[in-house]
Amino acid sequence: MNIIPMFLKELEQEAQTTRKMLEIVPTDKFKWQPHPKSMTIEDLTVHIVDLPNWLALAVYTDGLNFATEPYNPPTAENTQGLLDLLEQSVAKGKEALQHISEEELLKPWTLSNGDVILQNYNKAEVIRVAFCQLVHHRAQLGVYLRLLNIPIPGSYGPSADELSGEYQREAASIEL
């Protein structure tokens, strides 16, 4: 069984769902957070759009050491900026997946912070973790938007807002 075509399909499906969620993020709420320990919407959405880049990180490197390679997230000024960053990240992830072999997916990959090993994976596992993180944080964004009383789209089926018709009415009135 070839896993790379499945990864490419999953990336496109998750990107499509992520686009729908990001399209409704109001720029004027970028600094909002539901709790002082929570990320702001801006930080959360920037993390979401950056996650497909982890596919390229898995493909082109043997690991990440936070002590020598600190995380510098991209920035977005508005909702359209988030969507643009997502497209760049997805394109980079697709390109990386098209340049790796099935055998290379089994090579080791290490996440560390200095001498402390945080995780030992193979490259395929890093890709799976990136997809899981994308889904997890997108769901977190859905909760944020729900708390702001913003109707949300469905992810793997219709949302309650779509079933009631509220999402379509709200989506039609959103300006980027």
Mapped onto helix, strand or coil, the DSSP state of residue 54 is helix
Give tens-digit pLDDT for 13-28.
Answer: 999 999 999 999 999 9
* 137 marked ligand binding residue: yes
Share the mean pLDDT of the chain: 94
Q: Which domains does the chain have, with CATH numbers?
A: 3-173 (1.20.120.450)
* 47 marked ligand binding residue: yes
User: For 109, phi and psi rounded to 5 degrees?
Assistant: -145, 130
Give tens-digit pLDDT for 83-97.
Answer: 999 999 999 999 999
Nearest by Cα to 47 from 76, 11, 70: 76
User: According to the model, what pLDDT value does residue 71 have?
Assistant: 84
User: Residue 4: is its pLDDT beyond 60?
Assistant: yes
Give tens-digit pLDDT for 151-175.
Answer: 999 999 999 988 888 776 666 665 5
Provide the angle, in degrees to the nearest 10, between the axes of the packed helices 53-60 and 123-147: 170
Local structure of residue 115 (DSSP, 8 states): T
